[in-house]
Amino acid sequence: MEEYIPEKYTVLVLTKFFDRMKGFLTRRPQGCILLISPCDSIHTFGMRCNLDVAFFNDEGVVIRSEISVHPRRILRCRGARGVLEKHSSVNEGWYREGQRVTLCI
């Protein structure tokens, strides 16, 4: 399985309640990925564009991946520890189920 490595993105880690709740509703830098934790559900109400979403478990393994999630949706993932989100782009890759999310700081 080919690994997806987001090299040209800035990752914003959101752990505070209001930051997690706002997600992409707040103006964010162009080309960023949100890492929201703890989180096992998201909404896309108020979004103007589609999102790519990857829920991961405590071990960092993606347990659900969705590409191009439309506005006005709710996604839940039982067993998720957190979620990665980015604005969708047809030409960009994204995480698939079974891949491991690695954050190197």
Percent of the chain at pLDDT > 70 equals: 87
* Rounded Cα gap, residues 89 and 95, in angstroms: 13
* Secondary structure (3-state) at 101: coil
Choice between 98 and 24, residue whose per-residue pLDDT is larger: 98
Task: Kindly give the pairing relationship between strand 10-14 and strand 32-36.
Answer: parallel
Residue 20's φ and ψ, nearest 5 degrees, are -65, -40
Q: Which residue has the tokens 């989180």?
A: 39
Copy the structure tokens of residue 102: 């690695």
Q: pTM of the entire structure?
A: 0.84
Q: Mean pLDDT throughout 58-82?
A: 96
Choice between 23 and 40, residue whose per-residue pLDDT is larger: 40
Could you report the per-residue pLDDT of 35-59, keeping only the tens digit for each?
A: 999 999 999 998 888 999 999 999 9
Q: Mean pLDDT throughout 62-78?
A: 96
